[in-house]
Amino acid sequence: MTLKDRGILKSCLIVIPAYNEEEHIADVLREVMSSNIPADIVVVNDGSADRTSAISKQAGVMVLDLPYNIGYGGAIQTGFRFAAESGYELVVTLDGDGQHSPSSVNNLLETMEREKADVVIGSRFIEGTYRMGIFRKTGVRLFSRIAFFFTGTKFSDPTSGFQLFSRKVFSYLSEGDNYPLDYPDVNIIIAIHKMRFKVVEAPVRMKEKKGKSMHRGLRPVIYVIRMFLSIIVVLLRKEKKQP
């Protein structure tokens, strides 16, 4: 019996964190809606100073307006809390800058069902040739090795924000400091693995980012350092029982 047969897809929520994305959010929402994904949509407006919230509301989706910018991790956890409190069974996280292709959501859902997984990470590298700068590519390879060292599983794209979570996982991550708010990438994979949840990858389509990158200048170096510190915090935390 598939997820659709069991009616679970009716309880799927697409969480889109957005900070000053007025140039992209309308196109993102239009693409999600045209993909006919049987899911609700919520935009977590992370204290934007532009029209991100107004445009999202005009599109007819749910919007959670945060009073000030708390960062990507905080916006995602806000979406998890909303999903947990609202009774959703599945959560898809999809960026508001237009990089993620909504047409790949069905592949994440099918992979979760086939692999009996708790989390599915969308990888831009399993199929196709996604191009990125040398610093970012080096960082992805480094974090792939770190993830493999601590989990024993190879992840080709551990920094992907295009992910699918089961209720057990997003409910757990919605609580307190269970979700690392600062650079939540490979540290999330390690934290979920420590909880003995099953994490797998699935091929997805992603578009190359346009405009200025957040990984320019010294930012890649700072990113790597802070990610290492975040990983150490995750490893030192006392293991909890799976919910």
- Both tokens assigned to 216: 């320019």
Look at the block and give the residue holding tokens 């480094």. 142
pLDDT at 212: 43
Identify whether 1 is part of a domain.
no
pLDDT value of residue 211 = 42
In a domain, residue 242? The reply is no
Q: What's the pTM value of the predicted model, to 2 decimals?
A: 0.84
Residue 114 CB contacts under 8 Å (≥ 6 apart), including other chains: none
Q: How far is CA 42 from CA 13, 14, 83, 161, 203, in A?
A: 7, 6, 9, 16, 24
Q: Quick check: is 95 in a domain?
A: yes
DSSP class of residue 44? E
Query: Which pLDDT score, from 0 to 100, does residue 149 have?
Result: 82
pLDDT tens profile 107-130: 999 999 999 999 999 998 887 666
**pLDDT tens for residues 139-197?**
778 878 888 888 888 898 988 999 999 999 999 999 988 887 766 677 888 888 888 99
How many Å separate Cα 190 from the centre of its chain? Answer: 15
CATH number of the domain enclosing 232: 3.90.550.10
Domain holding 161, by residue range, is 8-236
Check pLDDT > 50 for residue 8.
no
Residue 104, both tokens: 């790949």
Burial 151-160 (b: 16+ CB within 10 A, else e): beeebbbbbb
The 10s digit of each residue's pLDDT in 209-241 is 654 444 444 565 666 666 666 666 666 666 665
Is residue 154 domain-resident? yes
* 165 phi, psi to nearest 5 deg: -125, 140
Under the banding of pLDDT at 50, 70 and 90, the label for residue 131 is low
The average pLDDT across 90-116 equals 94
Residue 217: what pLDDT? 47
Q: What percent of the chain has pLDDT over 70?
A: 76
Confidence category of residue 1, pLDDT binned at 50, 70, 90: very low
Amino acid 36: pLDDT: 86
Mean pLDDT in the chain?
84
26 Cα distance to chain centroid: 19
pLDDT value of residue 178? 84
pLDDT at 59: 97
Q: Is 206 inside any structural domain?
A: yes
Q: What percent of the chain has pLDDT over 90?
A: 53
If you average pLDDT over residues 57-73, what whole number do you get? 95
Could you give phi then psi for residue 82, rounded to 5 degrees? Answer: -60, -45
- What's the rounded mean pLDDT across residues 88-107? 94
State the total domains in the chain.
1
